[in-house]
């Protein structure tokens, strides 16, 4: 039995390729919602995850059956920050009638 170097945890970002399962001929990034405690074959794992788009936002929720030896941990994709102009808030007194 080959165990992954790390245990899959909630919040992990994984790159899934055909090494994890033949369904990933086109690699995808996912953020793990939770590993599922469902019966599997030795070296395989069920996970609930969000598939991530190019900007790192969730585009689909998926339940996936993956080979633990084929999992690749990634740093979460970063979204480019927006520069906003900050202006002081003008507060006027409120009249009570």
Convert 65-76 into a string of H (helix), E (strand) and C (coil).
EEEHHHCEEECC
29-87 per-position pLDDT tens digit: 999 999 999 999 999 999 999 999 988 899 999 999 999 999 999 976 566 666 667 78
Q: Which residues contact 51 (CB under 8 A, 6 or more apart)?
A: 28, 29, 30, 58, 59, 60, 61, 62
pLDDT at position 4 is 47
Task: State the Cα–Cα distance between residues 7 and 68, nearest whole angstrom.
Answer: 9
Q: Which residue has the tokens 């202006």?
A: 87
Task: State the Cα–Cα distance between residues 76 and 11, nearest whole angstrom.
Answer: 9
Listed ranges 13-17, 84-88, 89-93; the one with the highest mean pLDDT: 13-17
């Amino acid at each position: 039995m080959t165990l992954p170097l790390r245990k899959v945890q909630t919040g992990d970002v994984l790159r899934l390729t055909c090494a994890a399962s033949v369904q990933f001929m086109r690699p995808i990034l996912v953020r793990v919602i939770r590993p599922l405690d469902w019966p599997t074959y030795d070296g395989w794992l069920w996970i609930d995850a969000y598939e991530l788009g190019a900007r790192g936002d969730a585009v689909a929720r998926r339940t996936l059956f993956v080979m633990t030896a084929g999992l690749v941990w990634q740093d979460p994709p970063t979204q480019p920050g927006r520069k906003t102009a900050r202006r002081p808030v003008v507060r006027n007194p409120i009249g009570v009638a």
